[in-house]
Amino acid sequence: MIDQVYVGALTLDLLLGDVQSLKQKRSVLRPIIAEVQKHFPAVAVAETGGNDLYRRAEIGVAVVSGTAANCTQVLDRCERLVAGRPEIELLSARQRLFHDED
């Protein structure tokens, strides 16, 4: 039984490459989101901001774990996976950790 519950949240601010429409933007983001889900099936990931901008996007990732260290490790790995994509530039990444007593 898990005595502690931690929720880790990661917000990634992305600059997309040569994107001229929202349709092109979706075609860039879908594979990125799918890759995160494939490599980390226990996380939730979605576009969370910049929806009406062609070349900017915000992706949110969330994970629930019994330890803070595991949350941080999973989010770090998700960040590295997204940052390694050649078609985007990672402008910023912000991690937050929430405890069930917060």
pLDDT tens digits, the chain, 102 residues: what are they? 557 899 999 999 999 988 999 999 999 999 999 999 999 999 999 999 988 888 999 999 999 999 999 999 999 999 999 999 999 999 999 999 999 776
- Write the CATH number of the domain with boundaries 6-93: 3.30.70.1120
CA-to-CA distance for 35 and 27, rounded, in angstroms? Answer: 13
User: What is the model's pTM?
Assistant: 0.91
The greatest distance separating any two alpha carbons of the chain, rounded to the nearest whole angstrom, comes to: 50
Question: Tokens in use for 99?
Answer: 């405890």
Give me the pLDDT at residue 61, please: 98
